[in-house]
Amino acid sequence: MSAIRTSRSPDLERLEAEGFRLRIVQGSAHHLLVAGIPAVNSRREVVRGTLYSPLEIDRDGKTVNPVSNHQCWWIGQEAPCDSNGRVMSEMISNAAAEDKGDGIVTSVAFSRKRADKTPYANLHEKMWTYVRMIWHEAQAIDPACDPRTERAVPAVVEAQARVFRYPDMATTRAGIGAATAKLLTRRVAIIGLGGTGSYVLDLLAKTPIAEIHVYDGDDFLLHNAFRAPGAPHIDDLKEPKKVDWFGAIYERMHMGIIRHPYHVLAAQLPELEGFDFVFVAIDDAKARKVILEFLIAHKVPFIDVGMDLALDGENRLRGTSRVTVGTPEYHTHIAEVVSFEAPPADEIYRNIQVADLNMLNAAMAVNKWKRMRGFYADDVREHHSLYTIATQVLVKEDRA
């Protein structure tokens, strides 16, 4: 993802050439700000404010037209008033401040559609519609005021550190930049790229974590294809390392996938010290014990996942998905709820896993991490949950 150039988008280029002061912010979401718009305040003075619009662009950094979001927001001391000093409430859809993320807080939301209710053809038409309404009132007081500078000024483009190879338009279109920004994280590890770990990677690769370190020493085998996201071609099944198989896929989107083609054993534990968060998705109970004990001792927060499925007497599967959180503040429950000893492998303890339960286990874990970060609301604040398929029971324990 490269910095946006207005020259790629005729609507932005035209606004810029007309003398509008454009600021483009490429952060957790993409934003367009037009500063210096003359507006009337409640004391009938002409003041300047900024118009805000989400900025939807395509993979090449060109604006997407017609414009999917008809709304604009205002950043200013007061809501714009008419020339009598009365707030223009007929165009205001929300009079409260909204956090758009990336340090942008709006004061008032506008909603003004085209008369025929069709979308604005482009950002030039959309921004001008809002500019005209606000400026028109200011002109009644000061006919000389103008939102445009006399000479064109180049748009200011602020591109934050890149995580994705192309812009995150899901966040921009949804208008949840402020929530997504809470997921900004420096370094996260996924230990184990089995069925569950690969789905954890699938979900984390779509979040603004700077570095996602993946640890697994195993090869990607035929059976793994049936318990992993995506659909490998038969020619792909040449037993690559799991970290190489998944690394190559997710590097297409996320720039910080870092491969570690080995299992985490005692010798590798020091590598875990610098992580902001660790997802543990492994089968080996003994390894789980040393890893979790190390993470607790070194105050690294983590989520440990695990599932179990078995056939009942009628060849139907029953099973449970477990998600357990450990933090520096809350971890004494771990020894009570996580198995640190492997039962002997026999008929009862066959390793049965199915893609949708791997996926669910991973989704529960990533969802919990997002709740811990404040992306989602987290009223329950549990540190251990169990979901059981047959009964649809959802146990939520260790609330703190």
* Distance of alpha carbon 2 from alpha carbon 11, whole angstroms: 19
**Residue from the set 221, 265, 342, 380 that interacts with another protein by CB under 8 A:** 342
Residue in the block written with tokens 């660790």: 278
Q: Identity (one letter) of the amino acid at 262? A: Y
Least spacing, CB of residue 380 vs another protein, in Å: 14
With respect to another protein, which residue has the nearer C-beta, 177 or 326? 326
Tokens matching residue 392? 């649809």
Task: Show contacts with another protein in window 268-287 (CB under 8 A).
Answer: 281-283, 285
Q: Does 38 bind another protein (CB under 8 A)?
A: no
The four Cα atoms 124, 125, 127, 128 give a dihedral, to 10 degrees, of 100
Q: Does 337 bind another protein (CB under 8 A)?
A: yes
Least spacing, CB of residue 385 vs another protein, in Å: 9
Distance of CA 61 to the CA centre of its chain: 19
x-marked contacts with another protein along 374-393 as a string, rule CB under 8 A: ------------x-x-xx-x
CB atoms closer than 10 angstroms to residue 261 = 16
Segment near another protein (CB under 8 A); pick from 108-116, 119-127, 243-251, 353-361: 353-361
* Distance of alpha carbon 389 from alpha carbon 380, whole angstroms: 21
**Residue from the set 105, 170, 394, 400 that interacts with another protein by CB under 8 A:** 394
**Residue from the set 99, 218, 308, 378 that interacts with another protein by CB under 8 A:** 308
Q: Does 28 bind another protein (CB under 8 A)?
A: no
* Distance of alpha carbon 225 from alpha carbon 238, whole angstroms: 12
* Distance of alpha carbon 207 from alpha carbon 381, whole angstroms: 21
Burial 186-206 (b: 16+ CB within 10 A, else e): ebbbbbbbbbbbbbbbbbbbb
Least spacing, CB of residue 245 vs another protein, in Å: 17
* Distance of alpha carbon 311 from alpha carbon 201, whole angstroms: 29
Segment near another protein (CB under 8 A); pick from 30-38, 84-92, 166-174, 187-195: 187-195
With respect to another protein, which residue has the nearer C-beta, 130 or 199? 199
With respect to another protein, which residue has the nearer C-beta, 190 or 300? 190
Q: Does 229 bind another protein (CB under 8 A)?
A: no
Q: Does 248 bind another protein (CB under 8 A)?
A: no
**Residue from the set 341, 345, 377, 379 that interacts with another protein by CB under 8 A:** 341
* Distance of alpha carbon 70 from alpha carbon 230, whole angstroms: 35
Q: Does 336 bind another protein (CB under 8 A)?
A: yes
With respect to another protein, which residue has the nearer C-beta, 164 or 340? 340
Burial 9-33 (b: 16+ CB within 10 A, else e): bebbbebbeeebbbbbbbbbbbbbb
Rule CB under 8 A: which residues touch another protein? 192, 194-197, 281-283, 285, 288-289, 305-310, 312-313, 316, 318-322, 335-344, 348-349, 351-353, 358, 361, 386, 388, 390-391, 393-395, 397
